[in-house]
Amino acid sequence: GAHVLFWKNQQSNLIHYLGLSHRLLALNFIIVSLSKKSAWSSAQVKVTDTDFDGVEVRVFEGSPKPGEPLKRSVVYIHGGGWALASAKIRYYDELCAAVAEELNAVVVSIEYRLVPKVYFPAQINDVVRATKYFLQPEVLHKYSVDPDRIGISGDSAGGNLAAALGQQISQDANLKNKLKVQALIYPVLQALDFNTPSYQQNVNSPILPRYVMVKYWVDYLKGNYDFVEAMTVNNHTSLDVEEAVALRARLNWTALLPPSVTKNYKPVVQTAGNARIIQEIPELLDARSAPLIADQEVLQQLPKTYILTCEHDVLRDDGLMYAKRLESAGVEVTLDHFEDGFHGCMIFTSWPTNFSVGIRTRNSYIKWLDQNL
């Protein structure tokens, strides 16, 4: 029934993004990883599926620490290009269970709706709605959560949604100072420049090539596929697109990134481009979709932040630039860079996709949460 339909949708979506040449890889990935697991519980972690204000969530409750009746908590948002995966697939299930067990924490993993069922900003709205519900005193009390020790986190497109969530909560007078930390794992944070050094360096990387990331963006913002090629050469943010010029300055990587990263890469700035792209997809310039371009005043309100980046990842520089902008705004930032890391590696920690760097990134992330949450 619904389970089979989910599996088929994920299969066709993944092949749609990766193309025919990656079909075998895609099918293998799906068979291993994209089957949903039913809620389960162990001696250490109680797992339940419920909904928070109409949004599905999977809640992982770790055992309380001796002498600490109240628990820490993490709201987790899974990755998958706003279109793939689920809070209930094995990879995210294992990650959230590990966090809940090792931190004696409550982890709320949000099952937000995906493209093509919904488009921007529905994913953000789902995440904000579920989180606001969870932050209510009576709900925190039900789960024995310490209201002063709550963090938000996510990977890839989930890192994008977590960053947008953090900005929205910090601007909400009723919720301000409700979050102790945010932890972003190789987040996607902007769609104005697809030629940062990491996009140039990793243009054809197998897990997330540039053209796939651009397609994810176009789908998320319900744009036209005819624009994909033009966007890969930054024709959508050329110098004649006035709306984009001021925002481009906020992600001027020649200033935000160190020489060890910029190397000999040159910025790709078109004099004349295609003004129609921003006219038809104005959401490309919306800080809710691209948290990296938010105003300095918004960034100043954000909590202590952890950003994990990987060398072999088109999104590396999105994370590095956000870290730099947050630091400039006075936010305490831990940047955790893995030279041998690749996009998505942190969920690859068990057979048959158990990578050493997957285990090291996960351990490093959990250790930071343990020390800072």
Q: How many CA atoms lie within 13 A of 9 on its CB side?
A: 16
Indicate if 236 belongs to the active site: no
The bridge status of strand 304-312 relative to strand 333-342 is parallel
Q: Under 8 Å CB-to-CB from 65, ≥6 apart: which residues?
A: 71, 104
Closest CA to 292 of 269, 315, 271, 276: 315
Q: Helices 90-102 and 356-372 sit at what angle, rounded to 10 degrees? A: 40
Task: Kindly write down the DSSP assignment for every residue of 132-197, as one continuous string.
Answer: HHHTSHHHHHHTTEEEEEEEEEEETHHHHHHHHHHHHHHT-TTTTT--SEEEEES----SS-TTSH
Annotated catalytic residue within 93, 313, 317, 336: 313
Q: Under 8 Å CB-to-CB from 42, ≥6 apart: which residues?
A: 97
> Do 316 and 310 contact (CB within 8 A), yes or no?
yes
Indicate if 343 belongs to the active site: yes
CA angle 160, 251, 84 (to 5 degrees): 20
Annotated catalytic residue within 78, 236, 312, 343: 343
Cα dihedral 143/148/149/155 (nearest 10): 100
Six token digits for residue 316? 């590396």
Annotated catalytic residue within 33, 73, 153, 156: 156
Question: How far apart are the C-alpha atoms of 316 and 309, rounded to whole Å?
Answer: 5
Task: Kindly write down the DSSP assignment for every residue of 22-33, as one continuous string.
Answer: GHHHHHHHHHHH
How does DSSP classify residue 41? B
Q: Which residues are catalytic?
A: 156, 313, 343
